[in-house]
Each structure stands twice: as structure tokens, then as C-alpha cells.
Amino acid sequence: MITPAPTRALVIAYAFPPTGGAGVGRPLKLVKYLPAHGVRPAVLTASNPSVPLRDESLLADLPPDLEIVRVRTLEPGYAVKQAGWTAQAGGSEASAARPGRRLVGRAVMLGRQALVPDPQILWQPAAQMALARRLARKADDVVLISAPPFSQFLLAPLARLRPGVGVVLDYRDEWSTVQSSYVMQARWSARLGATIERTLLRAAHVVTTATEAFRQNLLDRFSFLSPEQVVAIPNGYDPDDFPATLAGPPRDADRFTVTYAGTVFNLTSPRGFLGAVRRLHAESPDLARRLRVRFLGRITETERDAFAGLEALGVECAGYVPHGEVTQALASSHLALCILDEVPGVERIYPAKIFELGHLSDRTGLEVLTLAPPGALADLVRAHRIGPQLPPRDEAAIAALLKDRLRVFVLRGALPRARPVGMERYDRRSLAGEFAQVLARARDQAARA
């Protein structure tokens, strides 16, 4: 019996290890587990991505024979961009006092609006050339482009020029939601972005989305997409990221530890939670002194002011922590946090971290507090019984829950233990199998065309 040749799949992801942070996990775990499903992956990524984080520990997940093509972007380094954003975010008084800063901020804003759909479009010259070379030598059967950044989707029409090559566009987030926050809601930029998105979607054989809500929104907006053409494949957890033994919080701990792991930005703003911490200290100072809150991850410029003065109230900001250390830090906590703030479009989103939290909760009984408005995340938490869920800006309700847990902790009582159900659905190994089926479908459709 002849064994069929593996499907050759090129995964295009601007951010890929050793880049760290949000968004890297989906393409990383995909290429890790695709070989087990009859797919031989290769990767096209940026050699000098303009990103804030590196995490060398993620390289351990890469298959030893994985082909990675890294090509340069023309973007400025992240430090240069960050300096411009800081100037743009400066208050009016500071801007008036420093005209140069005001001019820099204005230039940054205009530049952000001009680079549609995103600044990573400056990666396109090298990426297009690299993809063209692979297409010329028929190196791949199918191309999967995982975004954001959504400028990567501009590679789809080029891939379609090679007969027999399937094209899959993977939405980790929604184009419209990401763009509206990035371009400062410039109307012409948003309109142009929507036109570009419509055009590029026509180049896809299959489209994948990270949530069912994303999928339905695409079908509602673009009537030319058929329901069979758009497939929802969620994010998930990798069992390899969880050691066999996970140490819980010390039995003699003198403080109740709450941990948030992940980037803090406008969609995950903890302002409501931090307000609850302040309220707790004002109402029950003796209890509040037993509270320790840890934020493990990058905090963007727009959210830094929310943490002012909170170090004295037991709030610690550790910065980015390598992925391999985060799991143990969460396991040693009494309560974990998952946050989505009240932002337009957030009702269709759930952060990838919720799946790791759910699996950790399943393994250890760790209670997870989800702060989110009604929508996809709240529905998922309830469906899988991951833990309590509260509105993200309800400071009184959040403070009341913290007060209740602290009272039990001080009395050395039994803290609530979670009992999630159905988390095996989100095992990255089986999710890679779903992607393999999508890749095969796109390959076969291209072959029949």
C-alpha cells in the first residue's frame, strides 16, 4: 500500500518565535502538531519584526526539521515606534510646552493612518518576493496566512496566481476591530480597509476564524462567502506546556494571591478590577492588607496610568515573563484573572489565555475570575464552568467577591475549587487535525480549479 505524500503547507505569520506575546501561540502550535496529521509545514516570517517582546523559550516547540524563511521588514524598530506613540499620547499641556513633541505625535498619527491596513505592510516587499520564489519552484501545496497583522492577507492574490495552490486566510482577530483601534478610527482608513478586506477574501479557498462569532460576522458582512467556506477553529492549550507536577499556593501563605497573565492593553484593561482593589482597601483595610495582586505581562502606554499608586496596595507589575514560567506562577495562585473590557466589538472575542486557564483549572481546581461583558467569552466560561464571571467595570461586585475570598482565606477555610467540563475540546493536538482537514480541502479545491 502506497503512503500518500504529506501535504506541503506554508504558514505565513509575521510574528513567530523567538517573538513572544499574544498571537504567536496559534501558528506556533499549529506547525508543532501538523506533522502528526499528515502535513509538512514550513514558515514564512519576518527576520526583524517590529515587536516589543522576545521569548527564546518558545523555540523549544519548533520541530527540528521545520523550514523557516525569515525576510526583513522596512519598519522602524519597536523602540522608535514606541517613542512616537508616547509623544502622541502626551497631554495637551505637555504638548504645548514642547512643540517638537506635538509635531512628532502628529506625524505618528498621520503615519498610522496612512499605512493601511497596518504598519506591517512595510514587510510586504520582502514577503512578496519570498513567496514568489516558493511559488516558482512549486514548494507548497497550500498557503495559510494567519493574521493580524492583516496586511499579510495581501499575499493571498499572489498565491492564487500559481494554479493548484490552495489559499487559507486565518482570522485570529477581527480585521475591523483591530483596525478601528489602530488607525484612531479615521473614517477614510476604515473604509479603505473594508474594501481591501472584501477584495482579499475573494482570493481564499477557505477562511478560518478563532471564534464562531467571528465566523458569523464575516458571513453577515460578505454575502459572497458560503457557510461551508468559513470554518471556526478555536484557540486552545498545549498539554506539553503543563508540567506533570504543579505546585499550588503554599499552605502557610500569609497573603491571598491573585494573578493576571497576558498583555494589558485597551481590550484587556483592568481599570475596573484595580478600582475594586482601591475600594476594598478603603472599606476593609485589614482584609485588603492580605491581598497580593500580580500582573505578569507587558502593560501598554495607554494603561500605565491605571496602576499609579497601587504598588502600596499590594499590586505588583512583573513585566513579561517567559511562557514556560507563567503556568507555575498561575498554579501557585489562589485566584486567576481573565479580563476583557467594555470595548466595541469585544462581544465576539475571547482571549486565547482562557483555554490555558481552563485546562489549568481542570488540572488543579484553581478558581478563575472572568471579568467580561456579555458575549463570546462570558458564554464560553459559563458553558465550561470555568469560574465566576462579573462585568469588568462593576467595582462593587468585584470588591465583594475579593472580600468574600479573603475572609475565607483568613479563617483558613476551604476556598472554592473549580470543576470545568469539556476542556478537552481545546487540546492543540486535535485542533491541528481540524486545520489539517481545512488545508486538505483548500488544496483539493485548488487542484480541481
Residues 367 and 341 in one domain: yes
Distant-in-sequence, close-in-space partners of 137: CB < 8 Å, separation ≥ 6: none
What is residue 276's predicted lDDT score, i.e. its pLDDT? 98
Proportion of the chain in helix, strand, coil states, percent, rounded to 5? 50, 15, 35
Residues 13 and 139 in one domain: yes
Evaluate whether residue 2 is within a structural domain.
no
237: left (phi over 0), alpha (psi -120 to 50) or beta: beta
Evaluate whether residue 212 is within a structural domain.
yes
Residues 19 and 71 in one domain: yes
The phi and psi torsions of 318 (rounded to 5 degrees) equal -90, -10
d(CA 217, CA 220): 5
What is residue 93's predicted lDDT score, i.e. its pLDDT? 41
What is residue 88's predicted lDDT score, i.e. its pLDDT? 52
What is residue 181's predicted lDDT score, i.e. its pLDDT? 54
Residues 232 and 170 in one domain: yes
d(CA 358, CA 237): 9
What is residue 5's predicted lDDT score, i.e. its pLDDT? 81
Q: Is 103 helix (H, G, I), strand (E, B) or coil?
A: helix
Q: Residues 324-378: pLDDT tens digits?
A: 899 999 999 999 999 999 988 889 888 999 999 999 999 999 999 999 999 999 9
Residues 12 and 146 in one domain: yes
Q: How many residues does the chain have?
A: 449
Low-confidence ranges of the chain (pLDDT < 70): 1-3, 81-114, 178-189
The residues pairing with 170 across neighbouring beta strands, listed in sequence order, are 146, 208
Residues 309 and 413 in one domain: yes
The residues pairing with 368 across neighbouring beta strands, listed in sequence order, are 336
Evaluate whether residue 151 is within a structural domain.
yes
CA 417: distance to chain centroid? 27
d(CA 12, CA 170): 10
What is residue 102's predicted lDDT score, i.e. its pLDDT? 56
The total domain count for the chain is: 2
What is residue 109's predicted lDDT score, i.e. its pLDDT? 53
Evaluate whether residue 90 is within a structural domain.
no
Evaluate whether residue 92 is within a structural domain.
no
Evaluate whether residue 299 is within a structural domain.
yes
Residues 266 and 367 in one domain: yes
pTM: 0.89
What is residue 91's predicted lDDT score, i.e. its pLDDT? 47
Q: Residues 253-277: pLDDT tens digits?
A: 999 999 999 999 999 999 999 999 9
Evaluate whether residue 186 is within a structural domain.
yes
What's the domain range around 417?
Answer: 239-425
CA 340: distance to chain centroid? 12
What is residue 175's predicted lDDT score, i.e. its pLDDT? 87
Q: Look at the block and give the residue holding cell 489549568.
A: 360
CATH number of the domain bearing residue 59: 3.40.50.2000
d(CA 115, CA 96): 27
Strand arrangement of the beta sheet that strand 256-261 belongs to: 315-319, 291-296, 256-261, 335-339, 367-371, 389-390
CA 77: distance to chain centroid? 21
Q: Residues 283-297: pLDDT tens digits?
A: 999 999 999 999 999
d(CA 112, CA 102): 15
**Per-residue b or e along 35-70, where b marks 16 or more CB atoms closer than 10 Å to that residue's CB:** bebebbbbbbbbeebbbbbebeebeebbeeebeebe
* CB of 418 closer than 8 Å to CB of 361: yes
Evaluate whether residue 408 is within a structural domain.
yes
